[in-house]
Amino acid sequence: MVVALLVAGCSGGGERGSDDDTFVYLSSRGLVTEWDPARSYSDEVVALANMYETLTRYNAGTGKTEGVLATRWTTSEDRRTWTFTLRDNVRFHSGRPLTADAVKAAIDRTMRLKASASYVWDPVEKITPVGKRQVRFELSRPAPLDIIASATYAAWIYEIPDDADDAKDYRATARGTGPYTVASWNPGSENELELTAFEDYWGGWRGNRYTKVVFQAVPQSSTSAQLMSSGEGTFAGGLPPQLVDTLRGRPNLTVYERPSWQTLIGLMNTQKKPLDDIRVRQAVANALDYQELIKASRGALVASDGVIPEGMFGHTTTLDLPGDQDLARKLLKEAGYGPGSGRTIELEMTYPAGEDTIRTLGDLMKAQLRPFGIDLKVQGLAWSSAQWPRAKSKDPDKRQDIFVMWWWPDDPEPLSYFRNVFRTEEEISYNLAYYSNPELDRLIDQVSALTATDPDEAVRTYRTMQEIIIRDAVQLFLGTNIYQRVLDSDVKGYVDNPAYANVVFVHDLTHQ
């Protein structure tokens, strides 16, 4: 039926016509949960990245940082002093000029709030404006500050109005330097958010650029496909592969595909029976047929090589990953489980509701584990209102056994895969395996400085860190997402940058 609808087009639909200057971004769910650019750490990044800017931006194609609000930067030999020179003629949305003092104020506030990914600035000890156009950073340890300054979250430069910390609506009170500002926000409605062009944007508006951006919430993938087919959508990034296949070859659409840095991970509860037994965790990790899972994703995933995805610093293809089913049987027998033991292992796995690919994998994982005497219950839960809050419950018995989620880096280095997900936490945030390993903690705390001063040693350290995760069976390596983006064929200049998951920098684009 879905295919038939796509062939027929969307009833009552039509081309954008006079709305050609509008870029329509189709999302499977509502986006904005936090407007404060210092606190934002969720899906609203796709909008905020068009309103706020960073000092630098990472180019995943070249593996280098490029200037945005900074035009050049220098560093001392020990990588502990960095000086950034700001771009001329940049204004905040209020009309005030961008200055070194404003950069200092924004980053100081972000560090002070200790929210979102503010930890990326942890090496910064002191920020000093040098005149109006330069900012000097003094660090407590060596760090790649040009990469840090390009982070997806917590690196935005924003104007701080009076009483900003007490304001409830940062839409009105915190202003960026980016190409777009908020025209309307209607949470819970179909057209959730509309951005409009900031006329005094330093990048200008030459050529056929999009002057409006609409973020439209479309929960049903089939509806998104219909909207793209009928010309009512400009971009859809989360369609299941089978729907993407129905859109290939259409003259009004273009399909872009590339491996992402977005990995699908299953975190095993190391503090809850029976997964508190490392043998049981290792058995679960080895019992799964990962190639069969990848095949079942129908092109949505490629096999993971480890914690660090391909294309990112520290990636390797030579890790000894789990997948030995004979070993799984042996480990279960040692732990007193498995066929013939009379003891069934009952596990509950949760995942973000609405993720069609994960639901498919969950059903297959259930079938794969059954012959090993493991009964897997798979449940989709709303991420922000159910899955994540439950995982952080004060009562350990209420927490899930396996927590499945997507993870991607906060900045273009692999540290956040380890620091956020596997480092010991006193108050649980994203370490949803509830894992603690002092050896790994020590390496996590060392590796960023090594990245700046001794990259070869940093690569070796990241390998050791991954070997620890594999050895302790903390994570199921369920695959790396293949981005499949469907765009209106009138869009020109689109580049999919895995360093900024799901973000479209709309001002970079033009249309016919």
DSSP 493: S
**Shared fold status for 2-37+178-252+489-511 and 56-148:** no
| pLDDT for the residue numbered 7 | 33
Lowest mean pLDDT among 70-74, 297-301, 456-460: 297-301
Residues 82 and 145: their CA atoms lie apart, in Å, by: 7
Level-2 CATH architecture, domain 2-37+178-252+489-511: 3-Layer(aba) Sandwich (3.40)
Name the CATH topology of 56-148.
Dipeptide-binding Protein; domain 1 (3.90.76)
Lowest mean pLDDT among 23-32, 357-366, 398-407, 429-438: 23-32
Mean pLDDT of 296-310: 95
| pLDDT for the residue numbered 33 | 87
In the chain, domain spans? 2-37+178-252+489-511, 56-148, 260-481
| pLDDT for the residue numbered 17 | 36
* Strand order from edge to edge, sheet including 124-130: 70-75, 81-86, 134-139, 124-130
| 3-class SS of residue 58 | strand
As beta bridge partners, residue 78 has none
| pLDDT for the residue numbered 84 | 98
Q: Are 44 and 27 in contact (CB under 8 A)?
A: no
| pLDDT for the residue numbered 52 | 98
Mean pLDDT of 74-93: 97
Q: How confident is the model at residue 164 (pLDDT cuts 50, 70, 90)?
A: low
Strands 510-511 and 81-86: unpaired
Mean pLDDT of 164-185: 79
Q: Which of 9-18, 170-179, 401-410 has the highest mean pLDDT?
A: 401-410
Q: Distance from CA of residue 505 to its chain's centroid?
A: 15
Answer whether residue 161 shows pLDDT above 60. Answer: yes
Question: How far are the Cα atoms of 233, 238, 413 from residue 408, in angstroms, in the given order?
Answer: 26, 15, 10
Mean pLDDT of all residues belonging to the chain: 92
Answer whether residue 11 shows pLDDT above 50. Answer: no
Answer whether residue 168 shows pLDDT above 80. Answer: no
Contacts of 223 (CB under 8 A, 6+ apart): none
Question: How far are the Cα atoms of 349, 385, 387 from residue 398, in angstroms, in the given order?
Answer: 12, 15, 11
Phi, psi dihedrals of residue 81, rounded to the nearest 5°: -135, 125
| pLDDT for the residue numbered 238 | 83
Q: How confident is the model at residue 1 (pLDDT cuts 50, 70, 90)?
A: very low
- Residue-wise pLDDT tens digits, 447-476: 999 999 999 999 999 999 999 999 999 999
Question: How far are the Cα atoms of 47, 183, 342, 510 from residue 39, in angstroms, in the given order?
Answer: 14, 21, 50, 31
| pLDDT for the residue numbered 447 | 95
Pick the CATH number of 260-481 from 2.40.50.1070, 1.20.1260.10, 2.60.40.420, 3.10.105.10: 3.10.105.10
| pLDDT for the residue numbered 153 | 95
Q: How confident is the model at residue 15 (pLDDT cuts 50, 70, 90)?
A: very low
| pLDDT for the residue numbered 163 | 60
Answer whether residue 203 shows pLDDT above 70. Answer: yes
Q: How confident is the model at residue 392 (pLDDT cuts 50, 70, 90)?
A: very high
- Residue-wise pLDDT tens digits, 216-253: 999 899 999 999 999 999 999 988 888 999 999 999 99
Q: Are 333 and 279 in contact (CB under 8 A)?
A: no
Residue for token pair 């070194």: 100
| pLDDT for the residue numbered 162 | 66
| pLDDT for the residue numbered 18 | 41
SS3 letters for 346-400? EEEEEEECCCHHHHHHHHHHHHHHHHHCEEEEEEEECHHHHHHHHHCCCCHHHCC
Taking alpha carbons only, the member of 118, 112, 89, 106 closest to residue 158 is 106
Mean pLDDT of 119-130: 97
Q: How confident is the model at residue 20 (pLDDT cuts 50, 70, 90)?
A: confident
| 3-class SS of residue 62 | coil
Taking alpha carbons only, the member of 53, 51, 43, 354 closest to residue 187 is 43
Q: Distance from CA of residue 313 to its chain's centroid?
A: 17
- Residue-wise pLDDT tens digits, 472-509: 999 999 999 999 999 999 999 999 999 999 999 999 99
| pLDDT for the residue numbered 166 | 54
Residue 138 or residue 12, greater confidence? 138
% of residues, the chain, pLDDT over 70: 94
Answer whether residue 298 shows pLDDT above 50. Answer: yes
Residues 409 and 312: their CA atoms lie apart, in Å, by: 10
